[in-house]
Structure 1
Amino acid sequence: MAKSGSLSINSENIFPIIKKWLYSDHDIFYRELVSNGCDAITKLKKLALMGEYEEPDGVEYKVSVTVNPKEKTIQVSDNGLGMTEDEVEEYINQIAFSGAQDFLNKYKDKANEDQIIGHFGLGFYSAFMVADRVTIDTLSYKADARAVHWESEGGTEYEMTDGDKTEAGTTITLYLNDDSTEFANEYRAREVLEKYCAFMPVEIYVADETAEPQYDTIEKDELTDKDTVIETIVEEAKTEEKENEDGTKETVEVSPAREKYKILRRPEPINDTHPLWNKHPNECTEEEYKEFYRKVFMDFKEPLFWIHLNMDYPFNLKGILYFPKINMEYESIEGKIKLYNNQVFIADNIKEVIPEFLMLLKGVIDCPDLPLNVSRSALQNDGFVKKISDYITKKVADKLSGMCKTDRENYEKYWDDINPFIKFGCLKDEKFAEKMNDYIIFKNLDGKYLTLKDCLEANKEKGHENQVFYVTDEKEQSQYINMFKEAGLDAVILPNAIDSPFISHLEQKNEKVKFLRIDADVNETFKEKEEDDEAAKEQAKKDAESLSEIFKKALGNDKLEVKVEKLKNESVASMITVSEESRRMADMMKMYSMYGGGADMFPVSETLVLNANNQLVKFVLNHKDGENTGKICQQLYDLAKLAHGSLSPERMTKFIARSGEIMMDMAREEQ
């Protein structure tokens, strides 16, 4: 009997919300309709297992998506539960029951940042984002059920009549609006379905009604009773004439006669119904993990290692987290964590569920206990979600600490790649920092890996208690590295941007510990023992003041800070040092300037260190007004700057010209 009416509960208000902001991505209607089909099949299979439904022999459960770009239609069909007329009335006509009114009242003033797709049972109505007209043809699995046909134009009025469907299941047909015809393109349909439905638990097939049929040719033993045979190809036996040893000839069979079949190409599902994360880790091979990584993330550099999450209590969570190999110099550290609910894709990188620092990794997490569609504001205040985040953090820390203890060789091999993840995690997560505290390692100047405790003990023996020296650029700081090695001192190499805030973090956690870059000051180990003679001390002070004035005048810089030391290594004439506090402040302001701050608010405080034992420095001191004294001062300063890093383009031009002049002066003296 035909029935018509208006969709209940303020549908004239709810549809603008659905169309404009409830679904921020219009393509998500595919996910909603296909996942509904998968649910209908999953429920029917459970009924069969419980003995409440008898499955037909040879039934193959599937969801079929059929596009027709000419007619601008999409059909989504399943052979699941189906619906009775009463169920259509309940699930389709009464939009989300009484909850719809609550929804309108609660969310009418919300911005579009919160996705609450389907939170009130509105998944089916996502179809009206892209379709002017939608029809449903359904037949319940229940005995004596009648087929139902339902249709709606615009989503506010509906008509429901008896249908003509003969097999249990549901077919939804979308007649697309002019703005959404792209979704009737097979390539676009596959793209969207592979995004949202790549691991749904029921096989999903996509076909274009208007496409030319595709064929394959197969051998007889490959033929199945499900294949559609278009043509039988009989190949006769091949023979050739062969000469025997006695000179007679005979015909021999080279290949026997055989039948081949031209068949309609077998459809292949677009999804993997048994994703790797659902298997037990003991059942997965190394190659399977790597293949899954390549397929899901399109990254053909092998991951370093991975963590397989598999938890049933107190909540259900499975997943795989990969530590990717990255090139710190040329690539930004950007990972991707895909979040699923029962194999249905929800979103990428939801930081409320996944600890922020783990978003640097690549991986998949499937948590059926999370709602499929939920606002981020709700997640932020959900204690259950916090437990999931804490569990994931613990599993990652356990994997890393376990590797350090039982597989130190590989842990050290991976360290250069994984340490940015670990350091970022320590900065962002207090519990992670506590668990990893004893497993942070540092590479020293000899390429050996040491813990913080190892570094402190080694430096204490050398008279530098609670100090850790470090290098940020082995090339630019090579002069200082050589001096350290000659003095028997060690330093650790910290070349990444994250190392600056990380060592500050370590200093806060270890009150007396201080990290010093090797060019922060002239180490006492490099200096000669200070003389006890008061007259000598007074003379050294006067010489230092004199040298300071000479260099300030020659360089035209009254604010230049000059320090004179007696270094053991007489070959070193000049050095540049930068105080640790000044440089860290400058580094912080550089980072701040990236976000609109002022990089020059805290200029670096440099000190020119002169070696009183060096012959060139002695020459300057003894020839204050000499013809070449100014030139030598400038050269010594520029050499110190070069050893510390680099010169500005202007200074480099002058340095090159001056170097030429000095060599010409030397050449003239030789003539």
Structure 2
Amino acid sequence: MAKKQFKAESKRLLDLMVNSIYTHHEIFLREIVSNASDACDKLCYKALTDESVGLGRKDFKIEIRADKDARLLTVSDNGVGMDKEDLERNLGVIASSGSFQFKQEVGDDAKDTDVIGQFGVGFYSAFMVADHITVVTKKYGCDTAYMWQSSGADGYTVTECEKDAVGTDIIMHIRPDTDDEKYSEFLEGWRIQELVRKYSDYIRFPIRMEVSKTRKKEDSPDDKPEYETYSEVETLNSMVPIWQRQKSKVKKEEYDKFYRDKFSDYADPQRVIAVSAEGTVTYKALLFIPSQQPFNYYSKDFEAGLQLYSNGVLIMDKCADLLPEHFRFVRGVVDSPDLSLNISRELLQHDRQLKVIASNLDKKIRADLAKMMKDEPEDYAKFWKNFGRQLKYGVVADFGTHKADLQDLLLFYSSTEKKPVSLADYLSRMKEGQESIYYAAGETVESIDRLPQLEGLKDAGTEILYFTEDVDEFTAQTLMTYQEKKFLSALSGDAAPAEDGEKKQEESGEDDHKAVFDFVKEALGDQVKEVKASKILKSHPVCLTAGAGLSFEMEKYFAAVQPEQALKADRILELNTAHPVFAALERAVTDDPEKAKKYATLLFDQGLLIAGLPLEDPSGYTDLVCELLV
């Protein structure tokens, strides 16, 4: 029979599909197996209304055979099969979809029929690994079988042939190995098993193959055992996805085992979120919040994303587009019949349905975390210890786009409660007349708690949030306010207790001591932006505060991440005019200006030390202390 040319496309289009639509060659087996599953599903659907089919769902199967010597890989099914017209329509036109047409024909009547793919584009992926493909098929209800053969875009032939049973055999002649590609791996039993379990584990029909196994010979002595190799037909796939089952009928132990096995974690998950949605987009999702932080979580090696399936067939192992960055720690699977198998990673990123699913999952995770925070605070504290920083990053990221969604999930250490608390809890304990949410940033809770600038607020019983992570102050600046209460650093010169603010202003004596402040400013020069009376110090003589914008902790952060372009906060030297040290300074300004300059330098260095900032000349500081002690 004369060779026919493909009706719709040329060699260029076939090359485009093979080389561009699919990123990895191994994907071909997923496509061929999915087509076989479609064929079984179609005949299974016919059996619902046609008793003469003589088969029930349990009778359908997919078989794989590998012949290394002949370099042949065969995938067979006992599904509906194809006649000559089907072959011409489905395989004669590249990108034709017999499965899609079947779905349109049966409509809502086929609710129990799980047709997956689009026979056409997926089928041609086999040419990535095969230089010749033979399709032997016999359609249910027909007496004649047909053979379709092609070596690629040059064309194909269709001839009559002999086939006893209904169904289809896809026979692929695997390409010779090259320096770059080892095609022979697709004839190895272990590799085929690996691919089936990776991509087709949840196909609803058994995928069977003869596999080689080893066992101890029966008459072999225990001290010197001898082994023999034997072959056995084995079902390679598990068939029933756990996420397709009702949550009420799945035990916690089953979810835990699935998580550990699927995501290679030795610990059980802390949280399981099962989602089933129907409507604009139909999908099921099974999400897990790990009970511990992965060892490489904050490294570039960590890969975020959910496994994406279409009717149990894996499309993508790590689909990062399904999760917002602030929930990148979540693991799990998403399965939707509305997604096509035949789609590239690049196109999938722009898929409207995928964006709807991602948005819904974001809401589900947030709702579950909010519920855990309210009903199980101890569990939430454990979660926060593992992944709280990621939520703070989420607030800061994308110019604060997600801050309204995440602010109620945040926790910060409280000076009064001695544990992390939510912003809502903080507001519930605010004193009457308090207009700000006070915070103080430092390296540890203990170091912050010792800061002299906090004495006034603490003595007044004002709650202060302790910021100990790099991202904390950036989080507060991004939020700006929470329920109309602004964030205010307790280390700033304006952070006086609400009831003492006016009194402190009166006690500060700015005008009375202007000469002293001017003298100290001149002595220190550009080292400080300003010298003034403190409204926040009580028992300590001195502190440094930063001007508006950049804080000292932010300065340390930028110095660590970009030392060549380090940013510096303003240094404002605040002096406690009620302290005896200030009185000594004031006398020295009048009686011994040179000594007063040394006092000014000493106080400035003390302010740097309290703020955790480096001294330019540590040995000079110690020499100065010793000199003033004599």
* Range of TM-score over shorter length: 0.7 to 0.9
Cα distance change of structure 1 residues 384 and 197 upon mapping to structure 2, 3 Å threshold? closer
Counterpart Cα distance in 1 of 2:527 and 2:476: 34
CA 377–568 in structure 1, closer or farther in 2 if over 3 Å, else same: closer
Q: What is the identity, as a one-letter code, of the residue corresponding to 1:544?
A: F
Partner in structure 2 of residue 489 of structure 1: 462
- 1:294-320 per-residue CA deviation (whole Å, 9 max, x = no partner) reads 222223343321211023446432111
Local SS of the residue matching 1:9: coil
1:149 counterpart letter in structure 2 = M
Q: 1 CA distance for matches of 2:138 and 2:606?
A: 87
1:391 maps to which of 353, 360, 368 = 360
The equivalent of 1:507 in structure 2 is 480
Moved more, 493-502 or 392-401: 493-502
Who is 2:289 aligned against? 323
Letter in 2 for 1:480: L
**Match of residue 207 from structure 2:** 204
1:641 corresponds to 2:608: yes
Distance change >3 Å, CA 417–CA 564, structure 1 → 2: same
Q: Distance in 1 between matches of 2:422 and 2:260?
A: 34
List aligned pairs for 1:234-253, cutoff 5 A.
none
Q: Deviations over 1:446-498 (max 9, x none)?
A: 3345443442353443x531333243532553433863544532222444555
1:464 aligns to 2:434 (yes or no): yes
Find the counterpart in structure 1 of residue 173 from structure 2.
Answer: 175
CA distance in structure 2 between the partners assigned to 1:384 and 1:165 by the alignment: 42
Tell me: CA distance 1:537–1:161, structure 2 relative to 1, closer, same or farther (3 Å).
closer
- Distance (whole Å) between structure 1 residues aligned to residue 281 and residue 30 of structure 2: 25
- In the alignment, is the contact (CA less than 8 A) between 2:9 and 2:94 conserved in 1? no
1:520 aligns with 2:488: no
Residues 533 and 605 of structure 1: CA distance in aligned 2, closer, same or farther (over 3 Å): closer
Cα pair distance change 1:616/1:188, threshold 3 Å: farther
Cα shift at 1:170: 2.5
The separation in 2 between residues aligned to 1:479 and 1:452, in whole angstroms, is 23
* Structure 1 residues 122-271: aligned runs within 5 Å: 122-140=121-139, 142-177=140-175, 178=177, 179-181=181-183, 182-205=185-208, 213-216=212-215, 264=230, 266-271=232-237
Whichever residue aligns with residue 175 of structure 1, its letter is H
Which SS does the other structure have where 1:6 is aligned? coil
C-alpha distance in 1, partners of 2:43/2:367? 41
CA distance in 2, matches of 1:168, 1:465: 79
The CA deviation at 1:32 is: 0.9
Report the counterpart of residue 376 of structure 2 in structure 1. Answer: 407
Letter in 2 for 1:518: A
| CA apart distance, 1:13 | 2.7
Q: Which residue of 2 aligns with 1:576?
A: 544
Aligned length: 591
1:175 CA displacement: 2.4
Q: Which SS does the other structure have where 1:148 is aligned? A: strand
524-533 or 295-304, which deviates more: 524-533
Residues 501-521 of structure 1, C-alpha deviation per residue, up to 9 Å, x if partnerless?
5434533674x4211233233
Counterparts in 2 of 1:20 and 1:312: CA distance versus 1, 3 Å: closer
- CA–CA distance in 2 between the matches of 1:465 and 1:168? 79
Q: Distance in 2 between matches of 1:566 and 1:383?
A: 56
Match of 1:253 in 2: none
The residue matched to 1:403 in structure 2 has which SS? helix
2:50 and 2:97 mapped to 1: Cα distance?
A: 34
Q: Could you tell me how far apart the structure 1 residues matched to 2:68 and 2:346 are?
A: 39
Could you tell me how far apart the structure 2 residues matched to 1:362 and 1:397 are?
15
**Cα deviation code 1:317-352 (max 9, x no counterpart):** 211112234549973286321221101112256566
CA separation of 1:618/1:169 partners in 2, compared to 1, >3 Å: closer, same or farther?
Answer: farther
Q: Measured at CA, do residues 194 and 627 of structure 1 come closer, stay the same or move farther in structure 2, by a change above 3 Å?
A: farther
* Cα distance in structure 1, aligned partners of 2:507 and 2:326: 58
> Which AA in structure 2 matches 1:583?
S
Shift of 1:6: 2.2
Q: What code does the residue aligned with 1:367 have?
A: S
* The 10-residue stretch of structure 1 (525-534 or 355-364) with the greater mean CA deviation from structure 2: 525-534
Q: Matched residues, percent identical? A: 26
Determine the structure 2 residue equivalent to 1:283.
249
Contact 1:528 1:568 in 2 (8 A): no
1:608-647 maps to which residues of 2 (within 5 A)?
608-623=573-588, 633-647=600-614
Query: Post-superposition shift, 1:660?
Result: 7.0
Conserved? CA contact 1:74–1:175, under 8 Å:
yes
Partner of residue 103, structure 2: none
Letter in 1 for 2:282: N
**What SS does the corresponding residue of 1:411 show, helix, strand or coil?**
helix
Partner of 2:276: 310
Distance 2:197 2:274 in 1: 23
The structural deviation recorded for 1:149 is 2.8
- Tell me the amino acid that sits aligned with residue 338 of structure 2: D
Please tell me the residue identity of whatever aligns with 2:571.
E
Query: In the alignment, what sits opposite 2:571?
Result: 606
The Cα shift of 1:93 comes to 2.1
> Match for residue 370 of structure 1?
339
Is 2:313 aligned against 1:344? Answer: yes
Q: What secondary structure sits across from 2:3 in the alignment?
A: strand
Two-structure CA RMSD over aligned residues (Å): 4.5
Instruction: State the SS of the aligned residue for 1:331.
Output: coil
Cα distance in 1 for residues equivalent to 2:477 and 2:624:
46
The question of 1:655 aligning with 2:625 is answered no
1:578 positional shift: 1.9
Residue 23 of structure 1 is matched in structure 2 by: 22
2:479 maps to amino acid: L
Change (3 A) 1:442 1:162: same
Give the Cα separation in 2 of the matches to 1:44 and 1:24: 32
Aligned counterparts of 2:256 and 2:357: Cα–Cα separation in 1:
25
> Quick check: 359-368 or 478-487, which moved more?
478-487
Alignment correspondent of 2:108: none
Q: Which amino acid letter does the alignment assign opposite residue 540 of structure 1? A: H
Name the aligned partner's letter for residue 605 of structure 1: D
Instruction: Give the greater-gyration-radius structure (CA).
Output: 1
CA contact (8 A) 1:393 1:432 kept: no
Contact 2:268 2:291 (C-alpha < 8 Å) held by counterparts: yes
- CA distance 1:663–1:46, shift in 2 (3 Å): farther
Q: Name the CA distance, whole Å, in 2 between partners of 1:513 and 1:28.
A: 55
* Cα pair distance change 1:584/1:386, threshold 3 Å: farther
| Inter-CA distance 291–514: structure 2 relative to 1 (3 Å threshold) | same
Letter matched to residue 370 of structure 1: L
1:452 aligns with 2:452: no
CA contact (8 A) 1:4 1:157 kept: yes
Partner Cα separation in structure 2 for residue 273 and residue 189 of structure 1 = 16
Task: Report deviation, 1:158.
Answer: 2.1
**Any residues of structure 2 matched to 1:519-598 within 5 Å, and which?**
519-521=491-493, 523-525=495-497, 529-530=503-504, 538-552=511-525, 557=526, 559-565=528-534, 569-570=538-539, 572-583=540-551, 590=558
The alpha-carbon distance between structure 1 residues 28 and 631, as it changes in their structure 2 partners (threshold 3 A), is: farther
- Of residues 627-636 and 84-93 in structure 1, the stretch that sits farther from structure 2 once superposed is 627-636
What is the TM-score with the length of structure 2 in the denominator?
0.78
CA 1:132–1:490: 2 relative to 1, 3 Å: same
Aligned equivalent of 2:265: 299
Evaluate the alpha carbon distance shift between residue 172 and residue 630 of structure 1 in structure 2; reply closer, same or farther with a 3 A threshold: farther
Deviation by residue 1:550-569 (Cα, 9 ceiling, x = unmatched): 334xxxx3554333337653
> For the residues of structure 1 that align with 2:580 and 2:252, how far apart are their CA atoms?
63
Displacement of 1:627 after TM fit?
Answer: 7.8
The Cα of 1:268 is off from its aligned counterpart by: 4.5
